Amino acid sequence: MERRIRFELLYAKHGPAVKAYILRRAPASLADDLVAEVFVVCWRRFDELPVDPLPWLLGVARRVLATQRRGERRSVALHDRIAENSTPPVQAHASTVGEEMLAALQRLSASDRELLALIAWEGLSPVQAAGVLGIRPATARVRLHRARRRLGVALAREQDRPSACSSLSMEASP
Amino acid sequence: MSTDTLARLAAANPVPDLPDIEAPERLCRLIEDEPTPPLRQPRGRQAMGIPPRVLAGLLAAILASLAVLVLADGSSGPGVNVAAAAYAATSPGSGVLEAVFVTRLLDRSHQLGDSYSSREWIDPSAGRRRQRIVLGGSRGLTLPAPRHSGGAVTYELATSPGWVETWDDLGGDSKVVHRNRFSGDEGTGAARRGAGAAPLRRSPQEAQGIELYRRLYSERSLKLVGRERLHGRLLWKLESDVAFAVYSSRPHAKLVPLAAVVMLVDPATFLPVVERQISLTQPGHPVTMESDLRSYRRLPPNAASESLLTLSKQHPGLSVLTHARARTSD
């Protein structure tokens, strides 16, 4: 029972952050089911949770999303039908101010996007982001440095363009 | 510049505020389906003398193989929104969908016998539906009277926007199709459980089968609550906690929940293959009806399919009695 209580506390504490992570990368209609899937995995491996569980949970969420996308590709026809017949997926709302930034982000590689998003949107430190991505902290720092630079260049290019129209598509790199 | 870039990226966060999460009840039901994880023993850096990297590679290969097997079986974690997938699977596109159910009546308090079969035709794009229910026959009909000569009674209901047609072959009314204006939809206006909650119906008999599934889904009242093994197959289990309710007749009427609905969804076809209605008014909340999907097919959009949705076209010899005055679902 004590385990169950700890689990529910963990869900209450980190569930919103996991859901926000998923909402940035998947249609809102899937979010609750995917969050549930993440925490079912968490329950299975509850004894393995690190002291700081959020990066671990986001890592699971990342894999759950990747599985969901693979399933999506395997059943394109089914999803086409879902798209036709169910509530349309909620698109990420890019504010006018953020449009250029989101367009610039889209120009980067998936791994750069994921790392930058973990730092800027999920609020993780480079060490925590490394935990999510399964890489070493030193590697994460180097990649972050380069990704920031590339984002700056992409942003400058976007600002030079007469108009930018962006739609965000966050996809975790394999 | 770099810090500024990250700050600007943070400002462009598409989900700036933490969203609300579901109450943990559904999650708890999901984990109740899971075996309790064994407590893991601390491991050394090497197990059985195998270097960690090799061990990790082996484990990854085994897990990948398992994932392929599980995915091929269609019984993995949802991967897709099961409720949405089932909704899509029950969308006939431009044609008409035909489904056959056999329903067992488990509530012995009424006099309808132990089961009936129903055939349903729906065209969601036109908002039209027809249902034919055959009561009795060889299945122990216990309707009081008058008994139909063949031992079975056929009851038909067809709905289209603004109209309901009914017909049955019980008694002297069998030569007439009654056509009524229908002003009160089953949602009955503001009968809601709260923001975003499902509109509530007055009678569980008003909608069943595929139509009921689609309505509950479009009202966002279906939740994935776990899995259930039935006849050796593991099916997804969706639940609508209050699918039907009425207003009490007292002053300051309150909504009285009548029934909840459970749907079991086939993981391969995403068709809702079992539908259960659960009484919320009886002690212990027993299952009162259980319907099994026996067949399902999509019919092409043509005149023959269209005619399946209209009672008068199915019974051309009958007279149609139109009742112009609107009635509600009361």
**CATH number, position A18:** 1.10.1740.10
Residue B15 CB contacts under 8 Å (≥ 6 apart), including other chains: A20, A23, A24, A92, A121
- For residues B255 and A137, the model is more confident at A137
CA–CA gap between residue B45 and residue B55 (Å, rounded): 11
The domain total for chain A is 2
Instruction: Examine residue A77 and state whether it is found in any structural domain, yes or no.
Output: yes
Cβ-contact B95, B305 below 8 angstroms: yes
DSSP state of A135: S
Q: Residue B273 has what pLDDT?
A: 92
Of the candidates B10, B14, B24, the beta carbon closest to that of A94 is on: B14
Q: Residue B50 has what pLDDT?
A: 54
Contact residues on chain A for B18, CB-CB shorter than 8 A: 16-17, 19-20
Instruction: Examine residue A59 and state whether it is found in any structural domain, yes or no.
Output: yes
- A76 with A8, same domain: the answer is yes
Instruction: Examine residue A169 and state whether it is found in any structural domain, yes or no.
Output: no
CA–CA gap between residue B239 and residue B249 (Å, rounded): 28
- A20 with A79, same domain: the answer is yes
- A101 with A76, same domain: the answer is no
For residue A99, the chain B residue with the least C-alpha distance is: B12
Query: Does the distance separating the beta carbons of A17 and B18 come in below 8 Å?
Result: yes
Q: Residue A21 has what pLDDT?
A: 93
* Selected residue of B8, B21, B28 to mutate for chain A interface (largest A Cβ count, 10 A): B21
Contact residues on chain B for A47, CB-CB shorter than 8 A: 37, 39-40
Strand B287-299 relative to strand B272-279: parallel, antiparallel, unpaired?
antiparallel
Domain coverage including residue A145: 96-160
Instruction: Examine residue A119 and state whether it is found in any structural domain, yes or no.
Output: yes
Look up the ipTM and state it: 0.75
Instruction: Examine residue A170 and state whether it is found in any structural domain, yes or no.
Output: no
Angstrom distances, CA of residue B161 to CA of A51, B128, B213 = 58, 7, 19
- A33 with A107, same domain: the answer is no
For residue B31, the chain A residue with the least C-alpha distance is: A40
For residue A123, the chain B residue with the least C-alpha distance is: B10
For residue A83, the chain B residue with the least C-alpha distance is: B88
pLDDT tens profile A78-134: 555 555 544 433 344 445 557 788 888 888 998 999 999 999 998 899 999 998 998
pLDDT tens profile A21-75: 999 988 888 888 889 989 988 988 888 888 888 999 999 999 998 887 776 665 5
**Which of these three, A60, A85, A110, is where a domain ends?**
A85
- A56 with A131, same domain: the answer is no
Q: Residue B192 has what pLDDT?
A: 32
What CATH class is the domain B82-327? mainly beta
**Which of these three, A53, A85, A117, is where a domain ends?**
A85
Q: Please, which residues 299-318 of chain B have a Cβ atom closer than 8 Å to chain A?
A: none
Cβ-contact B227, B265 below 8 angstroms: no
**Which of these three, A85, A107, A135, is where a domain ends?**
A85
Cβ-contact B119, B305 below 8 angstroms: no
Query: Does the distance separating the beta carbons of B91 and A81 come in below 8 Å?
Result: yes
Query: Does the distance separating the beta carbons of B1 and A36 come in below 8 Å?
Result: no
CA–CA gap between residue A167 and residue A90 (Å, rounded): 12
Q: CATH number of the domain that A128 lies in?
A: 1.10.10.10
Q: Please, which residues 241-280 of chain B have a Cβ atom closer than 8 Å to chain A?
A: 270
- Judged by a CB distance cut-off of 8 A, whether residue B5 touches chain A is yes
Mean pLDDT of chain B: 71
- A52 with A101, same domain: the answer is no
What is the layout of strands, in order, in the sheet containing B115-123? B223-230, B233-247, B255-265, B272-279, B287-299, B96-105, B115-123, B128-136, B152-160, B163-168, B176-182, B319-327
- Judged by a CB distance cut-off of 8 A, whether residue B41 touches chain A is no
Contact residues on chain A for B217, CB-CB shorter than 8 A: 86
**Residue listed under structure tokens 């982001």:** A129
Tally of residues, chain A: 174
Tokens coding A81: 């039908």
Q: How far is A149 from chain B (nearest CA, A)?
A: 7
The domain ranges of chain B are 82-327
pLDDT over threshold 50, residue B7: yes
Query: Does the distance separating the beta carbons of A119 and B12 come in below 8 Å?
Result: no
Q: How far is B2 from chain A (nearest CA, A)?
A: 6
Tokens coding B131: 């249902």
Query: Does the distance separating the beta carbons of A82 and B80 come in below 8 Å?
Result: yes
- A75 with A18, same domain: the answer is yes
* Selected residue of A32, A91, A97 to mutate for chain B interface (largest B Cβ count, 10 A): A32
Q: Please, which residues 45-104 of chain B have a Cβ atom closer than 8 Å to chain A?
A: 67, 71, 76-82, 84-85, 87-89, 91, 93
Query: Does the distance separating the beta carbons of B224 and A37 come in below 8 Å?
Result: no
Of the candidates A36, A71, A98, the beta carbon closest to that of B12 is on: A98
- Quickly state the pLDDT bin for B200 (edges 50, 70, 90): very low
Q: Residue B263 has what pLDDT?
A: 92
Q: Which of A86-100, B14-28, B145-159, B220-234 has the lowest mean pLDDT?
A: A86-100
- Quickly state the pLDDT bin for B79 (edges 50, 70, 90): low
Query: Does the distance separating the beta carbons of B81 and A29 come in below 8 Å?
Result: yes
Contact residues on chain B for A119, CB-CB shorter than 8 A: 6
- Quickly state the pLDDT bin for A17 (edges 50, 70, 90): very high
pLDDT tens profile B273-328: 999 988 887 788 888 888 999 888 888 888 888 888 888 788 888 888 887 654 44
The Cβ-side half-sphere exposure at A16, using a 13 Å CA radius, reads 9
Taking residue A85's Cβ as centre, other Cβ atoms within 10 Å add up to 20
Q: Which amino acid is at B33?
A: D
Which range of A89-98, A121-130, B135-144, B174-183 scores highest in mean pLDDT? It is A121-130
Q: Residue B77 has what pLDDT?
A: 55
CA–CA gap between residue B85 and residue A74 (Å, rounded): 14
CA–CA gap between residue B52 and residue B58 (Å, rounded): 10
Contact residues on chain B for A85, CB-CB shorter than 8 A: 87-88, 91
pLDDT over threshold 50, residue A166: no
- A24-A25-A28-A32 Cα dihedral, nearest 10 degrees: -100
Query: Does the distance separating the beta carbons of A48 and B40 come in below 8 Å?
Result: yes
- A18 with A59, same domain: the answer is yes
